[in-house]
Amino acid sequence: MNEFKELSWQGLWKNNPALVQLLGLCPLLAVTATVTNGLGLGLATTLVLIGSNTTVSIIRNWVPSEIRIPIFVMIIAAFVTIVQLLMNAYIFTLYQALGIFIPLIVTNCAIIGRAEAYASKNTVGKSAFDGLMMGLGFTLILVLLGAMRELLGYGTLFDGANLLLGDWATSLKITVFETDSPFLLAILPPGAFLCMGLLIALKNVLDSHMERLFAAKAEEKVVQRARVTTES
């Protein structure tokens, strides 16, 4: 169980594929103009990650290490094709909005990175869970970035959520402010770089803050122990 806890912590925060490993930046920067796009691509990536991690883990003992990379890529490509066909069938408008970036999930380094670094060395259950957590971590950042850019760019949130979640989601759209002239910088890729930089900075600030908190706690403990020894 502890292993699973560690995996979640690694995937969601400490070793987050987008914020820390900086993998898969191309789709990250290109499609996160809105929350819906970010969520769609994030979920697709998560599905692929779970599938590829599981499969790689199952066959890990039979794959000769000399040709493991091509085999991993073929597995990933198979899952991407499945996801692509599924999206084509069930959420066609979002499929069109994401365009080339769905097939490009194949080239997302985060996926092959996990297959190589984790799934090819660990059991099926752990690998699948690792895929889930890494995918969720990636999705989280995609959604956050999408929210930042959509808010700055169009002044809305969850615009077009019905493309992904069905018609009921039309009511999810929140208009924070009305604007006739969208803030193009936030929508264009440079804005994604800026927002990404701000997110990474925010994570580092939180990390150093937490470190200081833990350090303070650790120091307190030392003081207590010292007092016990003097008493005895």
Partner 1 sequence: MKFRLASSPHQHIRRDTGQVMRLVILAMIPGVLLQTWFFGWGTVIQIGLAIITAVVTEAAILELRKRDFERALKDYSAVLTAMLLAVSIPPFAPWWVIVIGTFFAIGIVKQLYGGLGFNVFNPAMAAYVMLLVSFPVQMTQWIPPVNLAQYSHNFMDALNAVFTGFSVEGFSLAQLKTGIDGVTMATPLDTVKTGLAQGFTYSETIERPIFDSVISGLGVASSWISLGYLLGGLYLLKQKVINWHIPLSMIAGLFICSLIMSLVDSDLYPSSLFHLFNGSIIIGAFFIATDPVSASTTNKGRIIFGAAIGVWVYLIREWGGYPDAVAFAVLIMNMAVPLIDYYTRPRTYGHSSSKRKSKDKAQS
Residues making contact with partner 1 (CB under 8 A): 181, 183-186, 188, 190, 194
Closest approach, Cβ 95 to partner 1, in A, equals: 29
**205 vs 210, beta carbon nearer partner 1:** 205
Q: Which residue has the tokens 């950042």?
A: 141
Closest approach, Cβ 59 to partner 1, in A, equals: 47
Are 191 and 152 a contacting pair, CB within 8 Å? yes
For residue 183, which phi and psi values (nearest 5 degrees)?
-75, 90
Number of H helices, E strands in the chain: 10, 2
Closest approach, Cβ 188 to partner 1, in A, equals: 7
User: Whose CA is closest to 126, among 43, 54, 21?
Assistant: 54
**124 vs 194, beta carbon nearer partner 1:** 194
**188 vs 226, beta carbon nearer partner 1:** 188
**82 vs 198, beta carbon nearer partner 1:** 198
Closest approach, Cβ 197 to partner 1, in A, equals: 8
Q: Which helix (H) or strand (E) holds 74?
A: helix 68-90
Please provide the distance, in angstroms rounded to a whole number, between the alpha carbons at the two ends of the chain.
39
**92 vs 193, beta carbon nearer partner 1:** 193
Cα separation, 12 vs 213, whole angstroms: 20
Helix, strand, coil % in the chain, rounded to nearest 5:
80, 0, 20
Closest approach, Cβ 99 to partner 1, in A, equals: 23
